[in-house]
């Protein structure tokens, strides 16, 4: 398998095909058939899908084709093939949640985001593999750039399907690092939006879970997020995703704040060097780079997020204890060792300890507001390096975890800050992402900075040859 290069890899995109659909020189049905051909070719190795609904997708694509012929598409994403992370309900496919305990689970209804996508004319093609209950234990998916490496988790199938050019867009989710980390491993653009910005439907059980979007382009990413938001809104009690339908124009930041979090110490030398190369390009383009050593407010923020991995581990363990208690009582088994470790931990976390964790999380959110004065946005790696091998023996805060350490991701989930992963680096021939992070509800403005950063870094890389 050839080495990945961010300047030569041609991701699958959709919105740039819409003029051809309107002109009649291409159609959503033909586009879908090309996706299905790629799936047939690559799925035996990548294993990104739990369930495919090809006939339902063809019917939806045919209806979309007729709307384009009439000049009346329902939205800018009418006809786009979409994969849905198999944690979210779809009326026409089961929702197995990466667990044998849910093998026959078929809710016969759509999650809020899926309902919104159908209303926009999107083609719901299938359910993408997730880890067990969206936690640590991996499914069968492999990295689209190396079958021996992990695609990340828990949005493993979502990220791999986009990276393998099977579909232009998928839905993922993140409680700790499950959207941005696999996006970095699989060369996706991805949005982990402001907390509550996109409606999670039935998936309201975790207090810091985010619905996110994986895509082959920033435009497809934003268009899909926006179309979900205007139809389904945000989570109950949240104002939803803020911003217009179109992607923000590129905006050059004056200052970017580098965040080390818990990830920098765990990052390998090659990935550090690659990221330093990105910062060098940005400095040469006139951006001031601010670190914890330059600004006491940044240092205070770094301290506030310094235990995010353990914080999220314990918050999640407490919040899922009731559902795991019920599964164990009903089935008496069927959970992985990793999930049982979380079950045991959840039984040990007391109410007072949970309250203390929430206080610490609130402190981190206040520190996020304060750090806004230090720069226009924040920047760090999406991953501590390229994807680990499938046979690695990794842990995350003491829990068996083989899909990659989310040490650059947990803090954005803790603070609820929007994060966008950009496929800018290759490390050891594999993708490694760079993420830009903003303030809550600044998602749209952040796409402008992300766009400028991506264009600037990739142009510099192309000039190098």
Active-site hit among 64, 146, 154, 308? 154
Active-site hit among 178, 217, 338, 413? 178
Question: Is residue 154 annotated as a catalytic residue, yes or no?
Answer: yes
| 131 neighbors 8 (Cβ within 8 angstroms) | no
Beta bridge partners of 427: 430
Helices (H), 239-335: 269-284, 296-304, 308-319, 321-331
For residues 4 and 426, give the distance between their C-alpha atoms in angstroms, rounded to a whole number.
6
Active-site hit among 47, 85, 127, 192? 85
For residues 6 and 88, give the distance between their C-alpha atoms in angstroms, rounded to a whole number.
31
For residues 205 and 243, give the distance between their C-alpha atoms in angstroms, rounded to a whole number.
27
Only one residue has tokens 């719901």, namely 124
| Structural Rg of the chain based on CA atoms | 21
Compute the 3-state secondary structure of the chain and give helix, strand, coil in percent, each to the nearest 5.
Answer: 45, 15, 40
**How many residues appear in the chain?**
465
Only one residue has tokens 């004056």, namely 254
For residues 108 and 114, give the distance between their C-alpha atoms in angstroms, rounded to a whole number.
12
Question: Is residue 113 annotated as a catalytic residue, yes or no?
Answer: no
For residues 218 and 448, give the distance between their C-alpha atoms in angstroms, rounded to a whole number.
10
Residue 117 φ then ψ, to 5°: -65, -45
For residues 28 and 26, give the distance between their C-alpha atoms in angstroms, rounded to a whole number.
7
Q: Which helix (H) or strand (E) holds 258?
A: strand 255-258
Question: Is residue 207 annotated as a catalytic residue, yes or no?
Answer: no
The residues carrying an active-site annotation are 85, 154, 178
């Amino acid at each position: 398998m050839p080495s990945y290069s961010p300047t030569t890899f041609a991701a699958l995109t959709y919105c740039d095909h819409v003029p051809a659909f309107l002109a009649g020189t291409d159609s959503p049905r033909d586009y879908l058939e090309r996706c299905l051909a790629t799936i047939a070719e690559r799925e035996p190795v990548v294993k990104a899908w739990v369930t495919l609904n090809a006939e339902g997708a063809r019917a939806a694509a045919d209806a979309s084709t007729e709307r384009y012929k009439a000049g009346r598409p329902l939205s800018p994403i009418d006809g786009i093939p979409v994969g849905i992370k198999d944690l979210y309900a779809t009326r026409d496919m089961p929702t197995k949640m990466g667990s044998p305990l849910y093998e026959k689970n078929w809710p016969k209804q759509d999650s809020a985001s899926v309902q919104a996508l159908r209303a926009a004319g999107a083609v719901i093609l299938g359910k993408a593999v997730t880890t067990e209950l969206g936690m640590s234990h991996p499914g069968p998916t492999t990295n689209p750039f190396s079958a021996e490496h992990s695609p990340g988790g828990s949005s493993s199938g979502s990220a791999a399907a986009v990276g393998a050019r099977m579909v232009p867009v998928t839905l993922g989710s993140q409680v700790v690092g499950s959207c941005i980390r696999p996006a970095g491993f699989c060369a996706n653009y991805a949005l982990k939006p402001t907390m509550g910005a996109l409606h999670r439907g039935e998936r309201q059980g975790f207090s810091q879970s985010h619905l996110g979007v994986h895509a082959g382009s920033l435009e497809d990413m934003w268009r899909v997020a926006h179309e979900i938001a205007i139809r389904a809104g945000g989570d109950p009690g949240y104002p939803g995703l803020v911003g217009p339908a179109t992607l923000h124009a590129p905006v050059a930041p004056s200052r970017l704040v580098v965040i080390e979090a818990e990830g920098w110490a765990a990052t390998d030398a090659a990935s550090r060097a690659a990221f330093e190369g990105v910062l060098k390009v940005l400095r040469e383009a006139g951006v001031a780079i601010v670190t914890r050593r330059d600004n006491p407010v940044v240092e205070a923020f770094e301290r506030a997020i310094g235990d995010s991995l353990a914080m999220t581990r314990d918050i999640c363990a407490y919040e899922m204890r009731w559902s795991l208690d019920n599964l164990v009582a009903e089935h008496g088994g069927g959970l992985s060792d990793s999930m049982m470790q979380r079950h045991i931990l959840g039984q040990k976390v007391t109410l007072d300890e949970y309250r203390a964790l929430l206080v610490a999380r609130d402190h981190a959110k206040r520190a996020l507001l304060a750090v806004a004065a230090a720069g226009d946005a924040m920047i760090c790696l999406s991953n501590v390096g390229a994807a680990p091998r499938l046979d690695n023996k990794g842990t995350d805060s003491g829990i068996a975890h083989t899909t990659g350490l989310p040490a650059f991701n947990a803090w954005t989930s803790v603070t609820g800050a929007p994060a966008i992963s950009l496929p800018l680096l290759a490390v050891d021939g594999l993708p490694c992402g760079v993420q830009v992070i903003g303030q809550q509800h600044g998602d749209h403005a952040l796409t402008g900075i992300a766009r400028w950063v991506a264009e600037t870094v990739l142009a510099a890389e192309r000039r190098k040859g």
